[in-house]
């Protein structure tokens, strides 16, 4: 029973609907477990739901070993890293360590919250104009600066404000295949961040604000530090759409936002389509549950 007890670490009091909203907002993958049908005595009735993530559990299907097995199967789905729907039938007998004697059909829906992740370094005028645009798009953003007083009072829901006296340290905390946008007030900091991000070797995109002259200087400095041509090509500088010009903060922000929109739309285009439960499998599961109820 030790494993059973361990499976309930991280239990939360929020209901399943609140949990779904929380995970969608944070972009955390999760599984919805729904009781599709029951036969005989079961802990919870048809329609009961719970939400399971890699570390947390929300709501309940009634507890006991049934719930433990559901959690275990949910986390197996999460470990595969793919969106999926599966149906499992459980007999609540001795093999599950429960004496209810009934049966339950449970659907597990593995939800992959694929979001475009972006780290923005610098909270100056361009960044503040840009955040107002990106806040309306399906992106998860970390907004990083060493100066707490430059951030606006109100931060959008999809943006996390990070104040760090050593912004370069935040490069270590970025997710894999992350997107980076460097907009700081300090050219030396821009260069240090660029080096650190290229060294990670897993960036999806790296944009650096600046002129053609700045781009040329950065490329030369990177080459002198033994970065390869392919590594240096990862840096996009100047950043923004070539056909959207202007130097006003909002003009620059619109140019950069257009480039970022193209990036996240490309990610959505190449994302695999969710494979749901085939109708025949769902129908057979429901027929099986109904027949068991009639024979009981």
Q: What is the CA radius of gyration of the chain?
A: 25
Domains defined for the chain, CATH in brackets: 16-113 (no CATH), 117-264 (3.40.50.720)
Contact assessment for residue 184 and residue 156, using Cβ atoms and an 8 Å cutoff: no
**Least confident interval from 102-106, 146-150, 257-261:** 102-106
Contact assessment for residue 15 and residue 33, using Cβ atoms and an 8 Å cutoff: no
Q: Token digits for 113?
A: 């919250």
pTM of the model: 0.63
Q: How many CA atoms lie within 13 A of 228 on its CB side?
A: 4
Q: Token digits for 29?
A: 């993958």
Residue 136: predicted pLDDT: 87
Structure confidence at residue 271 as a pLDDT band (50, 70, 90):
low
pLDDT tens readout for residues 7-23: 444 566 678 888 888 77
Checking if the pLDDT of 211 tops 70, the result is yes
**Least confident interval from 65-79, 143-157, 181-195, 244-258:** 65-79
Contact assessment for residue 38 and residue 103, using Cβ atoms and an 8 Å cutoff: yes
Structure confidence at residue 80 as a pLDDT band (50, 70, 90):
confident
Checking if the pLDDT of 180 tops 80, the result is yes
Q: Which residue has the higher pLDDT, 272 or 193?
A: 193
Residue 124: predicted pLDDT: 96
Q: Which residue has the higher pLDDT, 103 or 43?
A: 103
Residue 2: predicted pLDDT: 36
- Residues β-bridged to residue 91: 103
Residue 222: predicted pLDDT: 97
Residue 278: predicted pLDDT: 57
Residue 4: predicted pLDDT: 37
> Of 6-15, 18-27, 38-47, which has the strongest mean pLDDT?
18-27
**Least confident interval from 38-52, 109-123, 191-205:** 38-52
Percent of the chain with pLDDT over 90: 49
């Amino acid at each position: 029973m030790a494993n059973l007890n361990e499976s309930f670490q991280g239990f939360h009091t929020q209901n399943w609907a609140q949990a779904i909203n929380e995970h969608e907002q944070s972009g955390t993958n999760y599984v919805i477990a729904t009781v599709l049908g029951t036969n005989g005595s079961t802990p919870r009735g048809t329609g009961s739901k719970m939400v399971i993530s890699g570390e947390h559990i929300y709501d309940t299907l009634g507890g006991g070993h049934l719930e433990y097995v559901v959690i275990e199967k949910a986390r197996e789905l999460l470990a595969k890293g793919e969106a999926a729907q599966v149906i499992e039938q459980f007999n609540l007998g001795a093999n599950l360590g429960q004496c209810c004697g009934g049966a339950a059909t449970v659907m597990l829906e593995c939800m992959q919250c694929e979001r475009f992740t972006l780290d923005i370094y610098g909270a100056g005028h361009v960044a503040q104009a840009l955040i107002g645009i990106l806040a309306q798009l399906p992106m998860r953003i970390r907004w990083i600066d060493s100066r707490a007083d430059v951030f606006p009072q109100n931060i959008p829901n999809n943006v996390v404000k990070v104040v760090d006296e050593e912004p370069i340290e935040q490069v270590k905390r970025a997710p894999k295949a992350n997107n980076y946008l460097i907009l700081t007030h300090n050219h030396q900091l821009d260069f240090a961040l660029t080096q650190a991000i290229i060294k990670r070797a897993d960036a999806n995109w790296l944009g650096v604000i600046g002129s053609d002259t700045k781009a040329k200087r950065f490329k030369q400095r990177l080459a002198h530090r033994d970065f390869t041509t392919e590594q240096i090509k990862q840096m996009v500088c100047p950043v923004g759409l070539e056909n959207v010009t202007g130097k006003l903060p909002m003009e620059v922000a619109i140019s950069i936002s257009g480039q970022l929109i193209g990036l996240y739309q490309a990610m959505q285009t190449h994302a695999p389509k969710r494979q749901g439960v085939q109708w025949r499998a769902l129908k057979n599961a429901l027929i099986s549950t109904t027949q068991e109820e009639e024979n009981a």
